[in-house]
Homo-oligomer: A and B are copies of this chain.
């Protein structure tokens, strides 16, 4: 591999001049710049990252700490981060969490510090994460999805409470008065926020928020809950915490002969690509996860620039109406 020195020799200048060219410094005459650039392409020179970051103390790398990467939301958020990072000239290093607990999180953070990343983006939707992060002093900017921007950790989030309100208001508008909620785990940021939105929208309409069941996000738990609800038949509409649970629920209803939306209306959350092909196609709340990822990276760049800035940004979700909801009979 050719070095700065080799390029310099070929172009008939000093290595420092070459360095200036590749770093876009001003004060390099046009002629020299061209000669150097020619030498660079002729030799196929690429700058050595290790040497560079040894002296600049910057690795040009962002660490992404993630869990549930096989899920639609986190995966797309990662994609957004990656795109924005690469566009900004950063490398993206990942650490996936198999189990989410304090120790695993600290472990991954240490892993990133070993790599001397310039910043850490956290895509771990458990509330516990934010607590663990608060006690870490990473020494580099940290941006967490779902964080409200407290304790030196920046945050980007989808306004899920609002998304839940959209869903519930849609049901209210259709005339439903008994609207239940199949919530996600309450140790997840998203699970809590969506439940809050549901509750808030109901109370704003002067209704009780008493029909709450908690699942674990999986289609399986949606199915189990669906069987129970099919037997009880207390609500005329259900706001389900995510599309996967909604899928399981639809399955259970179908088996039990409960018609959707005839007997019960169902709204999901996330709008995965498949949700429009459920039986029936699912009304749900769309979140732009890629945008969320890009916003994270924006905050990150701010943080790297300023050193200590903490920011927040909110992405608005959107209701997608399909055939799983209608007026109650």
Interface residues of A (CB under 8 A from B): 46-51, 53-54, 59, 61, 69-70, 72, 75-76, 78-79, 82-83, 86, 91-96, 98, 111, 113-116, 218-220, 222-223, 244, 247-248, 250-251, 254, 273-274, 276-279, 281
Question: Would you call A76 and B70 a contact (CB within 8 A)?
Answer: yes
Other than A50-B53, A75-B75, A248-B274, give 20 A-B pairs with Cβ distance below 8 A: A46-B113, A46-B114, A48-B116, A49-B59, A49-B115, A50-B50, A50-B51, A50-B59, A51-B54, A61-B115, A69-B78, A82-B96, A91-B93, A92-B93, A218-B273, A222-B277, A244-B273, A247-B274, A251-B277, A279-B279
Q: Which B residue's beta carbon lies closest to that of A64?
A: B94
Report how far A59 CA is from B48 CA in the complex, Å. Answer: 11
Number of copies: 2
Q: Which B residue's beta carbon lies closest to that of A275?
A: B219
Question: Would you call A96 and B83 a contact (CB within 8 A)?
Answer: yes
Report how far A111 CA is from B278 CA in the complex, Å. Answer: 40
Report how far A70 CA is from B223 CA in the complex, Å. Answer: 24
Beyond A48-B54, A50-B53, A82-B95, whether A248 also contacts B220 by CB under 8 A is no
Report how far A111 CA is from B46 CA in the complex, Å. Answer: 11
Residues on the B chain within 8 Å of A277, using CB? 219-220, 222-223, 247-248, 251
Beyond A72-B70, A93-B91, A251-B279, whether A49 also contacts B274 by CB under 8 A is no
> How many Å from the CB of A50 to the closest CB on chain B?
4
Q: Which B residue's beta carbon lies closest to that of A73?
A: B70
Report how far A244 CA is from B113 CA in the complex, Å. Answer: 39
> How many Å from the CB of A276 to the closest CB on chain B?
7
Question: Would you call B46 and A50 a contact (CB within 8 A)?
Answer: no
Residues on the B chain within 8 Å of A46, using CB? 113-114
Residues on the B chain within 8 Å of A279, using CB? 250-251, 254, 279
